[in-house]
Amino acid sequence: MMQAEHKLKKIAAIAALLMASSLTGCRAFSRMESQQQAQLVSQEIQNPVQVPMLDRSLVMDEISDEVDDYFRIAREEQIRVVDSVASEGWIETWPRIGSTVLEPWHHDSTRGFEKLHASLQTVRRQAKVRIIPSGDSYLIDVKVFKELEDNPTPIRGGVSGKYLRHDNALDVGFEDDHWSSKQNDGWISMGRDISLEQRILSNIVRRLSGADVTSR
């Protein structure tokens, strides 16, 4: 009886130790995210960012080339001038599974928290960019949406039962079947990836820095 009680206490102690270790790890993970967010705030480029009204084809080409470094482009609408009025240009991408620490040549997951998060869990990102004519300049608005995979059952598990509900967080603004909510089955919205937005904006500003670039 005493031996059985001792074994139970030992198992309980080990379980408590493992739980404490896991909680400490979660707190450290959370601190890393908070520190990265604080750093982004201190170095933030305004989104949308204002750039000079250069040749519209040049602006679209540079932005498209920058976005293509991270995502595969699904749709693109060029800036057009109709009756002396410039229309809005936009770029939308296909979702992409986040790169891990074992893929340093991919840059869709920024260094630090985002790269580690993508290594421990399956996440994906998708970008939507708007190029808005505004007087004698353009406003470049970049949004990167991040989602976490939500499997109805554990992978390689024998668990059965009802499937979980999947939320639709795809922000595309189109009604055709190609962009239906089914595109998001199995994914949970995690909001926006500000760090990648800032990287893309910073590089766009650098590409178009032939003239002074100001923030709005």
pLDDT digits (tens, 9 = 90+) for 198-216: 999 999 999 998 644 444 4
Rounded Cα distance between 208 and 206, Å, is 5
pLDDT at 136: 87
Burial of 131 (0-12, 13-18, 19+ CB in 10 A): buried
Segment 17-24 shows an average pLDDT of 45
- Tell me, yes or no, whether 121 and 134 share the same domain: yes
pLDDT at 9: 39
For the chain, how many structural domains are there in total? Answer: 2
Helix pair angle (56-67, 194-207), 10° resolution: 140
Q: Which of 43, 58, 76 is the last residue of a domain?
A: 43
- Tell me, yes or no, whether 174 and 162 share the same domain: yes
Contact call for residues 208 and 59 (beta carbons, < 8 A): yes
Domain extent at residue 162: 46-215
- Tell me, yes or no, whether 164 and 82 share the same domain: yes
- Tell me, yes or no, whether 73 and 121 share the same domain: yes
Here the tokens at position 153 are 């059952």
- Tell me, yes or no, whether 164 and 128 share the same domain: yes
Examine the pLDDT at 49 and tell me if it is beyond 70: yes
Question: What are the tens digits of pLDDT across the range 161-195?
Answer: 555 545 444 454 544 544 444 556 789 999 999 99
- Tell me, yes or no, whether 90 and 53 share the same domain: yes
pLDDT at 14: 40
> pTM to 2 decimals?
0.66
Question: What are the tens digits of pLDDT across the range 110-156?
Answer: 988 898 988 888 999 999 999 999 888 999 999 999 999 887 666 66
Least confident of 41-50, 85-94, 173-182: 173-182
Q: Residue 34 — very low, low, confident or very high, per pLDDT cuts 50/70/90?
A: low
pLDDT at 173: 52
- Tell me, yes or no, whether 198 and 170 share the same domain: yes
- Tell me, yes or no, whether 61 and 120 share the same domain: yes
Alpha-carbon Rg for the chain, nearest whole angstrom, is 23
Question: What are the tens digits of pLDDT across the range 66-77?
Answer: 999 999 999 999
Contact call for residues 99 and 109 (beta carbons, < 8 A): yes
Distance of CA 10 to the CA centre of its chain: 44
Rounded Cα distance between 181 and 89, Å, is 24
The dihedral region occupied by 203, where left means phi > 0, alpha psi between -120 and 50, and beta the remainder, is alpha
- Tell me, yes or no, whether 79 and 97 share the same domain: yes
Question: What are the tens digits of pLDDT across the range 94-120?
Answer: 999 999 888 888 989 998 889 898 888
More confident residue, 40 or 185: 185
- Tell me, yes or no, whether 14 and 99 share the same domain: no
- Tell me, yes or no, whether 37 and 59 share the same domain: no
Q: Residue 81 — very low, low, confident or very high, per pLDDT cuts 50/70/90?
A: confident
Residue 140 pairs with which residues in a beta bridge?
49, 131
pLDDT at 150: 84
Examine the pLDDT at 50 and tell me if it is beyond 80: yes
- Tell me, yes or no, whether 38 and 63 share the same domain: no
Burial of 78 (0-12, 13-18, 19+ CB in 10 A): middle
pLDDT at 40: 47
